[in-house]
Structures are given as structure tokens and as C-alpha cells.
Structure 1
């Protein structure tokens, strides 16, 4: 932080507030890392992964809010009390993890190595487990309250796209292929991989990998809707996964897609039985869109179920940003989606941007538009949204071209560039 910025903050009486934000952000980040480090050693050991998964998700979202507050030096009279409550909840998470560690060490030597069942069925250990469940649920209630109170900081909400908001953008399989450019070769290669059964695998998994906004979902859609695919696979299913990889929810969505009606059973075992009666012996294709799960155990649970009800040639097509996810899930080598060539990004932009441009202005607008598209670096999502933005009558294209959004990590991470641009323009 520069001296000039510090003096400015001091003159506004908010230096301490900004430093507190930074300290809280660091604390929350360290706790997210600690949860990850102790996941297998303690959290799964004590069968607390479901509760702690909720904790980690909320801390991750809060971390994003704190990063944005810190970056923009946002001040609010209610921030300090909120930060104090958040720090207390985070310290409680640390104490909770310490309790798990201490109890595990204390109980060592009581049971022979490997006697997990005896260990967990001991009255003392059962009592301790339920005590910890109650404790983490109380912590999650406090974090949930913090999640609600963060909505008081409207500037954060308007200027930053939260992960929880991204999770609401559920995808679907329908696509207008006339609006897709430059993906014919990729589509052909993927279809060939999916319909080639020389390996005689009962269930194969092809991961489509690429950065945010590069067009993974769109590519999966045009493959999903291809006539050759529909002839080869039956049923074909589209499932939007996103941040939370929940086995029960994924099974429910598969059942709903195949039956074309709601899932009328709630337990996982009942869902497995229902799925077996519906697709057993079929050659199916399931698309899992936007997968983030890096827990191999969760993935093995799903594939174990699907292998039991599939026949040779069944496939799963996965879209993900993470190469680690692709390595965990894939039986094929990952299929990498590269950025579009300039001419295709320009077509996407041009189709949307010139609807209100007069012929006299068109030539100068073309030059500015091409400068904008060069900054998109081949991301079709950015080209589409910026084309829509440029198509608005009241928007000056030079503002889009010259905006500092191009230097932000949010844009290059592909997090809905249009929303970030639109919100930043509101404050120019």
C-alpha cells in the first residue's frame, strides 16, 4: 500500500478498518487451507465431512467478499462489528479442528491398528462425534448469519460476482448452433471419441478442459444435440454440477432427465434402485457440466453406481476448468478447448454490437470493436457479452475499450466478464 493511499485512508478515519479487513481475510484464508490439509486425516476420520463441507464453502464465499472489500478500500460503519463476529467464528473453527486432533491423539493406543469399527462404535467416541457435530453446526449457523449480513455492503454485491451467484446460473442442453463459430473440428473429434468403442470399456469418461469463458459448455451442448450422438446413445442426460458435487443430487437429476418427471424417492439407496430399473443395460451418455470436485472418493462413488447399470460403450462427458479434476475423472486423455481465433470472436461480437450503429459511424466503430476483441484473447463468452453491451444505445465503445477491467484477475479467470463490465460502468 503506497504512502499516498495510507494518508488518504487516515484522512478518512478508515485505516484501521482496512487493516482489520486484511487481517480477517488472511485468517479466513488460512482456515480454508487448514480445512483442506486436515480433510482426510481428521474430518473424514471423524465422519464430519458433510458438516465441514458447508463450513468450507461459506468461508470460501466470505473470503471472496473480503478480498473485494480490501481491494476497493470499501468502508462501512457496520463492517467492523461484522469483521469481529467473523473473526470469532473463524477462531471457533480453529478450536474445533484442534479438538479433533487432541481427541484422536488421546485415543491412540486404545485399540489395535486398523480396528476402525471398534474405535467408532465405542460409547465415548460416539458421544464425542455427536458433540463435534453440534459444535460445527453452531459454527455454521454463525457463518450463515455473516453470509446474510454481508448483503448490507451493497457496493460489494454490485461490483463483484460471487461464487454463490455463479452457482445459480444453471446451464441447460439446448443450443442454437447458428450462433456457434469455430468449433466444427473440435465437435467432430469429440463425437469420434465418444462413439468409438474399440477399448471395450463399460464406462468411459472424457473430460473437456479449458479456462472460464472459453466455450466448454457450448462445445458440450453441440455434441449433446448432434444427430449421430442421439442415434448412438439412449438415454442422453445433461446434469449441471457446479461447486457442490452431491451424489444424491446428481442421481436425482439423472433420474429426472431420463423419466422426464420428478424424482419421487429421497434416499440414495432408493435412487440407485430406481436408476437401475430405468437405465440398466443401456448405452447412455451423461454430460456433467462445470465440475469442480477434486475429491476422488466422491467421484468413485458415482462411477461405481453407474458402472453397475451401464453396458459397453456408455460414456460420461465432463466439462471443467481444472486439470486436476480431469486427471481424477478421466479415462480418456483430457480434451483441451483452446481460445477462438480472432475472426470467430469478431463474428460473435459483430452480430450483437451493430444493431443500433448508423452506417456513418460503422467504420469507426469497427476499428474500436476490433481493438476490444483483441483484448478478449479468444474468449467467446467475453465476445458475446461485450457485443451485447456495445449494442446498447447509451454505451460508449471507447469506455469498454479503455476500461481497466482488462487488468483484473476476475476477467482473466472468466468470471462472467459482462457482469463485471456492466457493474464497473455504473460507477464511472
Structure 2
């Protein structure tokens, strides 16, 4: 399939146009000439934006247009970086002036002028580069678009689980019946391993869930393990142990895992789903089979889903079940459901078009669901455009490319901001459970959420999530109810189908890097988003992050020691996610990240946070939750005036909040739960008039709250459970959530 990275050019351009507009109309003092230059640049980009739809259409088949879109996108990021840097320098200069008011006026003027000289030089370079790029587009004879074909966000609610279940079983009733019959006939030995195999997106996992929740297995203990492409026998074993014991297991020794499984599996009937198995090494598969056999007098039924027929034949005790593609009629039924076809006034006009589109889904339910939801808001002419799109002609002979073509077509109709939000999800590994509110904060930190006077960024983020759920580009995770053995939707965690993640990484292809990817230094330097999963040593080797990196995430790193200069080169970093690491201490170089908006660093092992963290003036999200050794916050934390979200939950050694805490005027969310040593909640807390969420649960030693709690006019959630003497204060807030 042709590279689709150029399809991100349009949303990045739109984001930069809005950023320029914000700078022109913002609080930054610009010289008249600079304002004039920015206005000209904005007008130039708006002219280019008008032809982007035609450019994306031509880029499907024309390599030159693809390259032009990539150059344009890189230039847009360059402009954005320039404006961010100028704003940071200006703010830094202003703070130096305010802190040293006795300096000579000349010195203050120098501090103010230096960033502007820097901007003038960068502006000249960007104007010249942009002129070359914009002149090139004239050679392609691109036509301005007269109408937009972007989806409109009209329904902000996520699809209900009842309707979702009805959609998912379309065309699979006979499959479930046959599978249940096969399992019943083989119910004789100690262990039954039953693979379901077929192409990706066809519905293997959904069918496994249908069996998993069937009443036939109501007396079984239930375990669901997502295996994925990275086969880790210890992880599989620990997952089984955790679900059966209902306690987190992180055993590292194979013998300890074996002993625990012997005890937990003994004498029980257990239904296990091993979802998305890719491992084809016979020895590894034999080890997995042996792991499942350890329980004495136990009855194990293991359902395995895999795309590979060879794996299904290697890892089985009974004949595997090949899941065939859905019929064209079934795909049409799904499209009708998702597009609200029966309520359309023009349904007779578009019916045949819809049936033709259903054929193009290739029998894949995922493709039918995403296309159906997209078609819901489109006119009959736009349905016809979908049917005739030349995206279907690109490498459609191969199955995976055929499915990706349908997903790519859906992606092309997304609003610009939603394209950015979706593509960013490429930074997460396959099968990862994304925390919904954290994801929204990351989108906001990267400038993907468009601000309005009507909705907050949190509300807009929820809307974006709902849209992606409707398109089946995101899915709710599933929670297991141990009492009923049934899985329910988890509305706080999100997952992404492997094929959808493949599309996200195609879109982000030249901007995303994994630690183990084989890219040249020049390719690494252009990356904006990174996922590192190799932290077996000091991070000295990561001091040369791609200089333009905007989001950095670490995966499964355990206990790591960050080098003092670990972040010295990442001056454009906006999102730093260390949530899966035990950090020995945050390095001083953290204070150099002037653009950082989001810092998630729970479980810091040191008793102090470096004072330089208060230089992060743009930080809006800070999570230090679980840092049990943390004894004090920097006295100057009040300098972080833009901070909106602060999580200090589980900081059990923290004794008091600094007096400057009251300067955090923008704080909306404050979590101090399980800060059991906290004895003093500063009186300045009452100045946090924008606070909506306050959690003081299990702060055993707090005896009183600030005197004027009535100043918390916007407070919607106050949790004082486990606080003994101060619990009665919650009664004075009649409309609070518990």
C-alpha cells in the first residue's frame, strides 16, 4: 500500500495556521514587521490549505505529490517549533525582568529584544523555505476545494454496549454454534486447546468473547490473556495468576510461576482465552502447553485466536476452526446499522451504492463498521464518491492492503483535529490499554484539541473519543466480573485493533520511532514521536534524542536511572510519559524542557523533586502519584502558574504543601489521596477557585481544612473518605460527587 504519511500534512497545516493566529492575537508583544510577516505567512498557508484535498487525492498515485506533502508537513512543524521557541524565550525574558526590577532599563530592553532578533532570522529562513514549497504546488495544477467532506461530530455519546453487541454478532451465529459443539464433543481430557484462525479484523476475538460469556461456562473460572506479537511466557503466566488470585503477580522466576499455577489450577474448571497468538516456534508453544497442564484434577479449556493456520495446527488438541470472511450481505447489514440507513430519506437512492461498498469490505467486520459510521453523515453524492474513490485501486489485490484501504478511506473523511489525535495513538504498543483521561491530556498538550468558548478541553476530548469509538478506531477495554464470569466495558481504558494501529503507524510513518527500529540518523532526526522499550542500562545512549521530538514514552522499563543530561537535547518535548518506570530520580535536565506540557512520572524513588521543575512554565499536567519516598515539593512550585492537573496520590512521606501552592490559580484537579503523612493543608489552598476535583481520601493526619471552603465554587468532586474527623465537611457541599 502506498505510504500515507503525507495525509497528515493537512491537519498539521491547519494546526499551525491556528497557532499563528493565536500568536498574532495573543499576549506576546511583537514588533510591527513581525506581525505583518506572520499575517502574510498565515494568508499563504490558508491558500495552500484550500488545495489540500486535491493534493491528498493525487498523492495516492503520484509520488511527487507525496514528497511535496511531506516537505510541506516538515515546514509546518518548523514554523510551529519557531513560534514555540520564541514564546518560551519571551516569557523567560519577561520573568527575568520581573524578578530583577532594579536592573537598568537598558538591560531589560536587551532581554526583550534578543528573542525578537532570533525570531527575525528564523522568520526569514522560514519565508524562503515556504515560498519554494508553495511555488511547487502550482506545478501540480491542484484545484481548490469548494466543499468539505469532513465528518461532523453530531453525536457525542459512545455507542451503547447493547447495540454494539447486536452489531458484533452479525453473521456469526452459526460459527458460535459450531464452535460450542466442537468444545462439547471434546470435553473429555484434562486440557482442550481449540484455535480459531482467520484473517485480521474478521471477528476472531469477538467470537471468542461470545463463547467466553456463554452460560455453558458459567461454573468455570475465567481468564483472558492478550498475547500479541511479543511472546512472553512469564507475562502469560503472571496474567493467569493475577486473574485467578485477584492479586497483581509480577513473578520473575519460571519455577515460582509454575508453583503458583500448580496451586491455583488444582481441582478447578477454567476457561482461558489466549487472544492474538503469533508465536510459531514449536518449543515455545510446547512450553505454553506444559504451563497450562500443571493443575492436578483440573479441567482446562483454552480458546486461542491467531491469524496463522500453521500456528493453529501446532498449538491444538482438537481440530482448529477456520473463521471465514463475512458474506457481502452481512457486511451490508453492519453498514446499515452503523449508518442509520433505515432513517435516511434517500435510502432507496443510496442502497445499491451501499451494497457495492459492502463488497469492498472483503468480508471484514471492522471495515464494515468503520465505513458504516463514516457514511452516516454523508450525502448521497458523497456515498458515490466513496464508491468511486481511487483508494480502492491501490494494492487492493492483497488482503491486508484491501482492509487498510477501507480504513484509510474512513481516515480521509475525519476532521483535521481528529486525524492528529488518531495518528498519535501509534505511540502506544499493540494491545495496550490507554487511560482515557491521560490520552486527552496528551492530545491537549500537543495542541490537537481545538479550544472553544463553549466546551472545555476535557469535554472536547470526550467528543473526540466518542467519534473514534463510533468509527471503531478505538474500542473500550473489557473488565472481567469475577462473580458472573462476564466481561463488561471499561469506560476508563481504551484499546485499538491491531489493523487500526497499523494504519496509525502508516500515517505517522516518518515521524514515529521505536527504540528497536532500524533507521538512519537522518531519519531519526525527523521523528516527532518515540516509544522506547529498551531501558536495560543507564539512559546515556538516549541523550541524543531526535532534537525535534514532541512526545516520548517508555515501555516496560522497570527500575531505571536517568542520566543527568538525559533530556538536554529534547528542547521541543511536550509530552514525557514515564508511567511504566520506577525512576531513581528526575535529572536536572528536566528543567530545560521549556515546551513540556505533560509529565507523568509516578513512582519516583528519590525524596526530592529537583527545584528546576518549577521552570516548566507551560506544564499543565503533572503526575507524581506513587512516589512514596517524596518528602517535599519545591518551595517555588507556585511559579508553575499554568498547572491544571496535579496528582500526588500515594506520596506517603509528604508532610505539607508549600505556601506558594495557592498561586496555582489554574488548578482544576488535585489528588492528594493516600498521602497518609500529610498534616498541613495550606490556607492558600482556598485561593484555588477553579478547582473542580479534590481528593483527600485516607489522609489520616489531616485534622482541619482551610477556613473558607466556600471559595471552591466550581468544586464538583470532594473525597474525604477515610479522613475521620474532617469527613463531616463534605456535607456542606450538596451537589458533590462522592
2:175 is the counterpart of 1:186: yes
- Deviation (angstroms), 1:254: 1.3
The answer to whether the Cα contact below 8 Å between 1:175 and 1:221 also exists between their aligned partners in 2 is no
2:287 is matched with 301
Per-residue CA deviations over 1:51-86 (Å, capped at 9, x if unaligned) read xxxxxxxxxxxxxxxxx9999565467xxxxxxxxx
Q: CA RMSD in A?
A: 3.3
1:174/1:364 CA distance change after superposition, 3 Å: closer
Aligned to 1:37: none
217 and 425 in structure 1: CA distance in 2 versus 1, 3 angstrom threshold: same
The equivalent residue for 1:372 is 357
> In the alignment, does 2:308 pair up with 1:322?
yes
Match of residue 381 from structure 1: 366
Give the C-alpha shift of residue 351 in structure 1: 0.7
Residues 367 and 403 in structure 2, CA contact (< 8 A), matched pair in contact too: no
For 2:294, what is the secondary structure of its paired residue? helix
Contact 1:209 1:216 in 2 (8 A): yes
Structure 1 match to 2:244:
258
Please give the secondary structure, in 2, of the residue aligned with 1:348. helix
Q: Is the 8 A contact 2:171 2:326 kept in 1?
A: yes
The structure with more strand, counted as a fraction of residues: 2
- Corresponding residue for residue 339 of structure 2: 353
* CA gap 1:205/1:174 in 2 versus in 1, 3 angstroms: farther
Q: Output the CA distance in 1 between the equivalents of 2:327 and 2:61.
A: 36
Normalised to the residue count of structure 2, the TM-score between the two structures is 0.33
Name the residue aligned to 2:200: 212
Aligned 8 A contact 1:177 1:222 in 2: no
Alignment of structure 1 residues 72-87 onto 2, 5 Å: 74-75=66-67
- Map 1:258-277 → 2, pairs under 5 A: 258-277=244-263
Deviation at 1:342, TM superposition (A): 2.8
Alpha-carbon separation, structure 2, partners of 1:261 and 1:400: 49
2:410 corresponds to: 422
1:152-171: per-residue Cα shift (whole Å, max 9, x none)? xxxxxxxxxxxxxxxxxxxx
Shift of 1:239: 1.0
Q: Deviations over 1:99-137 (max 9, x none)?
A: xxxxxxxxxxxxxxxxxxxxxxxxxxxxxxxxxxxxxxx
Match of 2:385 in 1: 399
How far apart, CA to CA, are the structure 2 residues paired with 1:367 and 1:397? 10
State the match for 1:196 in structure 2: 185
Distance 2:194 2:315 in 1: 8
CA distance in 2, matches of 1:70, 1:267: 53
Q: Distance in 2 between matches of 1:70 and 1:237?
A: 47
Whether the 8 Å CA contact 2:198–2:306 is kept in 1: the answer is yes
Question: 8 Å contact 1:209–1:334 — kept in the other structure?
Answer: yes
What does residue range 284-295 of structure 1 map to in structure 2 within 5 Å? 284-295=270-281
Question: Which structure shows the higher helix fraction?
Answer: 1
Looking at structure 2, the residues matched to 258 and 175 of structure 1 have their Cα atoms a distance apart, in angstroms, of 30
Deviation at 1:344, TM superposition (A): 2.1
**Separation of aligned partners in 1, 2:170 and 2:223:** 24
Shift of 1:224: 0.7
Question: Partner residue of 2:399?
Answer: 412
Cα pair distance change 1:299/1:418, threshold 3 Å:
same
Deviates more, 1:371-380 or 1:267-276: 267-276
1 CA distance for matches of 2:310 and 2:165? 30
Shift of 1:316: 1.2
CA distance in 2, matches of 1:307, 1:71: 56
Q: What is the Cα deviation at residue 247 of structure 1? A: 0.4
Q: Indicate the structure (1 or 2) with the bigger Cα radius of gyration.
A: 2
Measured after TM superposition, the shift of residue 177 of structure 1 is 3.5
Matching residue within 231, 236, 254 for 1:245: 231
- Encode CA deviations 1:302-326: one digit per residue, 9 max, x unaligned: 1112111264642211111111111
Contact 1:205 1:316 in 2 (8 A): yes
Q: For residues 401 and 70 of structure 1, what CA distance do their matches in structure 2 show?
A: 17
Cα drift, residue 295 of structure 1: 1.0
Counterparts in 2 of 1:267 and 1:399: CA distance versus 1, 3 Å: farther
Contact persistence 2:258–2:294 (CA under 8 A) = no
Q: Where does structure 1 lack aligned partners over 5 or more consecutive residues? A: 1-67, 78-172
Report the secondary structure of 1:213's partner residue.
Answer: coil
The residue correspondences of 1:90-169 to structure 2 (distance < 5 A) are: none
Structure 1 match to 2:213: 225
Q: Provide Cα deviations, 1:135-183, integer angstroms capped at 9, x if missing partner.
A: xxxxxxxxxxxxxxxxxxxxxxxxxxxxxxxxxxxxxx99954221121
Unaligned runs of 5+ in 2: 1-58, 72-160, 417-738
> Aligned pair count?
262
Classify 1:72/1:337 alpha carbon distance in 2 versus 1 (closer, same or farther; 3 Å).
farther
Instruction: State the partner residue of 1:162.
Output: none
Tell me the distance in 1 between the aligned counterparts of 2:242 and 2:371.
35
Separation of aligned partners in 1, 2:194 and 2:213: 17
Residue in 1 aligned with 2:580? none
Cα distance in 1 for partners of 2:210, 2:238 equals 24
TM-score scaled by length of structure 1: 0.54
Cα contact 1:205–1:315 (8 A) shared by 2: yes
Partner of 1:47: none
